[in-house]
Structure 1
Amino acid sequence: MLAEELPGDDEASRRQALRQALYVALTRAGKRVVLCYAGRGDQDRGVTPSPLAEEVRRALGADWEDRQEELFGPAETLHSTYRLLRDELLQGTMRAGGRLGELRFDTDLDVSHAVVRYLELLKLAGLIARPEGQSVAEGLRDVNSRILQAVTAEQREIFISSGLDDYLLDAERDMRRRAQAVAARDEPSLRPFLPIRGEGVVLSASDIDTYRTCPLKYKFARVFRIPQEPTIHQRFGILVHQVLERFHTQPGTPGTLAELLGLLDAGWRRGGFGDSEQERQLRGKAAAALIRYHERFQSEQSQPLWFERKFTFKLGPHLLRGRVDRVDRLPGGEYQLIDYKTGRPKSPAQLAEDVQLSLYAIGAREAWSLDASSQAYYYLLDDRKVTVAADGDDRSDWIREVASEVAEGILAQGFEPTPSLAACSVCDYRLACPAAER
């Protein structure tokens, strides 16, 4: 019932803890509870149900219902997946709709994911109603071609990168292949939710950092998409980023200091910030940082070329993507990639393990044919720019290797936790994590 080891010094206390866990599951269920067990186990041995499940069965005066292998055939897969995605759509729509008013960069991406989930429901409904005798593979070709005629470019990318088709096609393949998938630790129920595109996965620098910090955190955040309540500091960072983006992209740039501070005032109101002591302090820090930023921007001899410029490039079968806050042409004609930060400056040790700037340099070279001579973190609150020289071949090879290892780990569904006090103490999922260091 539970993957993690239950607390207790002996078998009796562990059994009591398991009994309490079952009690919670039975009394907190919203609609119904299904107890089930596999009839055959490892090496095709017979399996008996849990004694606790047997107690429930006897108390209800019920009998176990025998389900044969056809439960997992193509038809049942379509219907069960439809029900699963229908429930996920309702929950996801509430999450996405509830976050529309938040100050975030990826609101459009949330909307596109919600739309694609609905399109996947349409796909399943079309497959269930396909002509008698038509295979799932043939039905998928017909349904996909019709749906793809009516989607945006971003929705098309998400729709195509979904692993749902592969999951449905697996149901038509022989039992041997499904047994091999289980033996290889594949989790078919998760595959439709992995960021798969073609034979690889879609990754960003943030995805790579999250997976390297803790694969289970990546699973919670990117696979299960458990919503995180943004902290006031996260909202503050997003606001400052958006103020600078609007300042640099508005007509008639470069703008005046008054215009820059006016954007801060407008964003502060829209962002829902209040009048607490902490918020007043942050407001003062933001204004001071933007004043210094404007002074530096006016005096620098470098020429800003692009702001919030996106890139995508292929790394083997995988797709890497990102967005660079600012690209400058330096007085000598070289290029510098700049990423804004509102947090604390990174230590030399952290910079040595940093993926983001190096990945941006590779992305600029692969996607824009632009070789940057340097990259920099611009710590806005400290008015400090930390410049990192261009990566050599060894560094680029290391970044590519790290990205490939993360991508392969996600494909293999390797989501084992790597707990540490430093990581767990600031993790949004520590209360739900069985391995959290407390």
Structure 2
Amino acid sequence: MTQTATDETAPAPAARRPALSPSRASDFKQCPLLYRFRAVDRLPEVPTRAQLRGTLVHSVLERLFALPQPDRLPERAKELLEPAWTELSSARPEWTELFAEDDESQVADWLTDAGRLLDSYFALEDPRRLEPEACELHVEIELDSGVRLRGYVDRLDVAPTGDIRVVDYKTGTAPREIGEAKAMFQMKFYAVVLWRQRGIVPRQLKLMYLTDGQSLAYAPDEPELRRFERTLEAIWQAILKAGKTGDFRPSPGRLCDWCAHQSRCPSFGGTPPEYPGWPEPDPGEETPLDRAD
């Protein structure tokens, strides 16, 4: 008699190794308690319309590059807005709660704003002249030290010469000097992962700011990436040390005004929830909102 596997006999899915993502590493650098709230407690955060708009624009640009090169036109990109929003909101119905049910004009105006960001993108480059190797590329590597790095690259361009360009779209409204520092941290993170995966230092890290139609390009070198790799290893060791005891301390600063967790923060008279212990599976996962900020 043939015996089929039962729930008891079927192997359990393997837990993913704990990993560090650029968003979570940036959280810990900014404020260890913020890292705990997001990665350990996994407290929910209500996104803003601006964050959703960034997620939508990223999705549209990914779809745009899936089209044949001659079809990558501004009007075609705008045609992708509503289908992309329908798909995103179907997967996350709670996102629609940011818009009044009885006022369709709110969504229409919001989509129009997203269309302006797409216009800004086309003013920066012509996608018909590009053929990326990948969009929304998942990258992951374990360093010799045992630290696992994981993230998503908006776009990876590889020239016939083998030169690599890492491209990231920015649609957020963070203060420029803080936002750029955080974004460059993210880009160096990706550069380290790609360098260790492929043995090639990316020739260029390119940030495209769609709100004001500006680009920022940076060329890293190997000594810099080695130093940054050590920085990431130090951040992970500090996270593990805090994780053993739950001692994730707040670090008040200018970005506190945008924090969703002030009511739980001791710096603002709040009390964090009881520490639940180091999370399983890993705390390194990024959300689409993380990747769009």
Range of TM-score over shorter length? 0.7 to 0.9
Residue 350 to residue 282, structure 1, CA distance change in 2 (3 Å): same
Aligned residues: 247
SS of 2:152 mapped into structure 1: strand
1:365 to 195, 198, 219: 195
1:423 aligns with 2:251: no
Structure 1 unaligned blocks of 5 or more: 1-121, 127-142, 162-196
2:53 to 204, 216, 236: 236
2:24 to 194, 203, 207: 207
1:306 aligns with 2:134: yes
Deviation string, structure 1 residues 405-425 (Cα, Å, up to 9, x no partner): 221122222543233241322
Deviation string, structure 1 residues 325-373 (Cα, Å, up to 9, x no partner): 1122458763210011102474389539942111111111112344311
Residue 374 of structure 1, CA deviation: 0.9
Residue 350 to residue 266, structure 1, CA distance change in 2 (3 Å): closer
| Counterpart residue number, 1:341 | 170
Distance 1:306 1:410 in 2: 31
Residue 300 to residue 379, structure 1, CA distance change in 2 (3 Å): farther
Deviation string, structure 1 residues 377-400 (Cα, Å, up to 9, x no partner): 11122222110112340x223321
List aligned pairs for 1:75-154, cutoff 5 A: 146-148=10-12, 151=13
| Counterpart residue number, 2:209 | 379
Q: Residue 380 of structure 1 aligns to which amino acid in structure 2?
A: L
Deviation string, structure 1 residues 259-283 (Cα, Å, up to 9, x no partner): 2111112234554356588765543
1:407 aligns with 2:236: yes
List aligned pairs for 1:262-301, cutoff 5 A: 262-269=79-86, 271=89, 272=96, 273=99, 275=103, 282-294=110-122, 296-298=124-126
The Cα RMSD (Å) is 3.1
Residue 254 to residue 399, structure 1, CA distance change in 2 (3 Å): farther
Residue 436 to residue 400, structure 1, CA distance change in 2 (3 Å): farther
Contact 1:327–1:338 (Cα < 8 Å) also in 2: yes
Identity of aligned residues (%): 27
| Counterpart residue number, 1:102 | none
Distance 2:162 2:198 in 1: 16
Q: Residue 248 of structure 1 aligns to which amino acid in structure 2?
A: F
1:324 aligns with 2:153: yes
| Counterpart residue number, 1:218 | 35
Q: Residue 240 of structure 2 aligns to which amino acid in structure 1?
A: L
Structure 2 unaligned blocks of 5 or more: 1-6, 90-95, 271-293
1:245 to 44, 62, 77: 62
SS of 1:413 mapped into structure 2: helix
Distance 2:159 2:239 in 1: 39
TM-score with structure 2 setting the length: 0.72
Residue 277 to residue 399, structure 1, CA distance change in 2 (3 Å): farther
Residue 305 of structure 1, CA deviation: 2.3
Residue 435 to residue 299, structure 1, CA distance change in 2 (3 Å): closer
SS of 2:264 mapped into structure 1: coil
| Counterpart residue number, 1:74 | none
Distance 1:289 1:381 in 2: 6
Q: Residue 244 of structure 1 aligns to which amino acid in structure 2?
A: L
Residue 343 to residue 276, structure 1, CA distance change in 2 (3 Å): farther
**Larger CA Rg, structure 1 vs 2:** 1
TM-score with structure 1 setting the length: 0.50
1:388 aligns with 2:228: no
Contact 1:203–1:407 (Cα < 8 Å) also in 2: yes
